[in-house]
Amino acid sequence: MRRITSHEELVQLSAGDPWVRWSLDPGLPGEVWVHEGVALVERLGVRRGFWVAPLPDAAGPAVRAALVALRDGGHLERLRSRSVSVVREHAALASEVLDLGDGGDWDWMWTTTPPPVDPREDELVDLDDTRDADELAAFAREHNPRMWTEVGTGRVIRWVGRRDVAGRLTAVGGAEREAGGVPHLAGIVTATGERGRGWGGVVTAALTRWSLHGHGVCTLGVFADNEVALRVYRRLGYRTARAWHSRRLPNG
């Protein structure tokens, strides 16, 4: 295993991979190793662990070798890892090498292309992560309990939403900030009774255009089984850079 301390070098090794370029902190605050063409990137925070990201031309045997090196080198225990994320095509292989628990499959997506303008974007209003926290949290609990973001903590740097004539929320969406500094969409929820009318796409398009204006790129994460959302994001120009299989380790 070779230690990497330069984000620029990692971007070069990955041939400009969007996830490496925009998702990772340029300061690489955690440990980063490359083993047989596979990047092992320490993930900090609550779900600390490792991203196992094959670089160009790295196939299954290389991924296996990297996972074995991660396991047998004692790095998981040394860094108190609680989870591991591998690309989904190597999910079965990861389960053979590591003792993995529950988790989820999801896509990390990105775009640098402005989506078509929907005139209904004029109906959207800005919401406040602090002032509107209770309303946003209640809306998410009712209409999408799987919403993967934190309301009222400052993690979301911008919220937008749409209200009906009675002032009730019918759709919301937020943007966090990736470790790399660019916006990452999260908390996109449409009221159950409003689904099928395209409001998720309206919210996503508006936030995407805002992100592109300030940063030139927008990213998001979506559960792999959410085919409706995946179709919307692809229609708006998003592409999958990494299809992740994220699982807990025994001590996670």
Q: What is the pLDDT of residue 46?
A: 87
CA distance 200 to 196: 9
Q: Could you give the CA distance from residue 238 to residue 241 in angstroms, rounded to a whole number? A: 9
The pLDDT assigned to 251 comes to 79
β-bridge pairing 183-190 and 218-223:
parallel
226 three-class SS? coil
Rounded Cα distance, 73 and 164, in Å: 57
For the structural domain made of 114-236, what CATH number should be given? 3.40.630.30
- Whether the CB-CB separation of 236 and 201 falls below 8 Å is answered with yes
Question: Does residue 102 have a pLDDT over 90?
Answer: yes
Query: Per-residue pLDDT averaged across 119-144, rounded?
Result: 96
Q: Which residue has the tokens 């995946």?
A: 230
- pLDDT for res 218: 98
Q: What per-residue confidence (pLDDT) applies to 129?
A: 96
Pick the closest to residue 23 from 36, 39, 1, 3 (CA basis): 39
> Domain locations in the chain?
2-103+244-248, 114-236
Distances, alpha carbon 89 to alpha carbons 54, 60, 95, 195, in Å: 11, 9, 12, 32
240: amino acid identity, one letter: T
The whole-number pLDDT of residue 148 equals 77
- pTM for the structure as a whole: 0.94
Q: 92: which 2 tokens?
A: 């079965």
- Per residue in 6-35, pLDDT tens? 999 999 999 999 999 999 999 999 999 999
pLDDT above 90 covers what percent of the chain? 95
User: Cβ-count burial of 22 within 10 angstroms (0-12 exposed, 13-18 middle, 19+ buried)?
Assistant: buried
pLDDT digits (tens, 9 = 90+) for 182-216: 999 999 999 999 999 999 999 999 999 999 999 99
Residue 103 pLDDT: 96
Backbone angles phi and psi of 208, in degrees to 5: -65, -45
pLDDT at 252 over 80: no
pLDDT of residue 130: 96
Indicate the pairing of strand 218-223 with strand 239-248. Answer: unpaired
Residue 68 has pLDDT above 90, yes or no: yes
Closest C-alpha among 100, 4, 92 to residue 49: 100
Confidence class of residue 135 from pLDDT cuts 50, 70 and 90? Answer: very high
pLDDT value at residue 149:
87
Mean of pLDDT over the chain: 96
